[in-house]
Amino acid sequence: MPSESTSSNFSADEYFATQPPPPTLEHDVAAVREFVVHHSATGRKVVLVTSGGTTVPLELNVVRFLDNFSAGTRGATSAEYFLSAGYAVIFMHRQFSLQPFSRHYSHSTNPFLDLLELEPSGNIEVHGKSRSELVEVLAAYKNARESGMLHSMTFVTVNDYLWLLRAVSKELAVLHNRVLYYLAAAVSDFFLPRQRLSEHKIQSGKGSLLIEMDQVPKILKPMVDEWSPNSFVVSFKLETDPALLIPKAQASLERYGHQIVIGNDLHQRKFQVVFVSRDPRNGTTTETWFRMDPHAVDERGRPREIEQDIIAELVRRHDAWIQVK
């Protein structure tokens, strides 16, 4: 059982007043500003996809940190479907987690070198079956990069993530209802304030290690109310106890007032998700389940991905929302 906490809970304002920004923040924000100016002119819808897990360092000179399971599959896959749907994409992801397009050649599931053949002439050939797939992925990747439709930026710690999300959402606010936030990153709920971090590697030899963490501030509220009002915000809720999924999603919508929570269970997340939304006029919530056969293939004979259905539905709902906003 978790023990009762004696530590303080930071409001968002207190958090940003006391925790230092990452050193690359200004540079990252300048690049986003350029992207936003460009796409204000193109008139495109823009999505911010967050992806992968955040770390919580236990020391200032970081040797140890807390992490989570997220590989960034959901975010990287979704970014590709958003691009196909015509969105300009800011892909804000955990450093070294999966990325759109290159995810198809993950070193653990589909090592790139195994697709290549070294000819006696010294030329390199791609195996027959893999060739057409690679051509397609490469063409989509080059197109996304060269057309300025995909902009990537990275975070590592939960602190990096919070500072970046605040700064980027303030920049995106000028696009009003054309912006969709797709917050799929697995963000730590707890952190250690910098002021309580040990400078050097925590030493062993003094018995067990007790660490008391503070709660990460709930930043969806200021994001929806202050940093980027009028935007379409979709958050994710992950649970391992299926009974908690709907009530937690409903509570989140009520507390933050955003548009959709997509609920998923850790073990079923690749095959079933639930969209939970709330009518702000009377507080009633609606749940829509999306389920797919784990062995299903798409029209090109590749394993089907539930993100295809998620993005199709979000595009439909975002468009409908733009009409009335």
In the bound complex, what is the minimum distance in angstroms from residue 27's beta carbon to ligand PAZ? 26
| Structure tokens given for 297 | 């293939």
Q: Which DSSP state fits 297?
A: B
Does position 236 interact with ligand PAZ (CB under 6 A)? The reply is: yes
> From CA 192, how far away is CA 216, in angstroms rounded?
9
170-199 binders of ligand PAZ (CB under 6 A): 184, 186-187
* Part of the chain binding ligand PAZ (CB under 6 A), chosen from 38-46, 198-206, 235-243, 291-299: 235-243
> How many residues sit in the footprint of ligand PAZ (CB under 6 A)?
13
> From CA 145, how far away is CA 147, in angstroms rounded?
6
The interface mask with ligand PAZ, positions 3-42, x = CB under 6 A, is: ----------------------------------------
Choice between 97 and 231, CB closer to ligand PAZ: 97
The string of DSSP letters for 254-269 reads HHH--SEEEEEETTTT
SS3 content of the chain, % helix, strand, coil (to 5): 40, 25, 35
Which secondary-structure segment (H or E) carries 236? strand 232-239
Does position 73 interact with ligand PAZ (CB under 6 A)? The reply is: yes
250-289 binders of ligand PAZ (CB under 6 A): 264, 269
Does position 292 interact with ligand PAZ (CB under 6 A)? The reply is: no
Choice between 187 and 260, CB closer to ligand PAZ: 187
Query: What φ, ψ does residue 179 adopt, rounded to 5°?
Result: -95, 135
Choice between 36 and 222, CB closer to ligand PAZ: 222
Query: Kindly report the CA angle at 248 between 313 and 241, in degrees rounded to 5?
Result: 100
Contacting positions for ligand PAZ (CB under 6 A): 70-74, 184, 186-187, 236-238, 264, 269
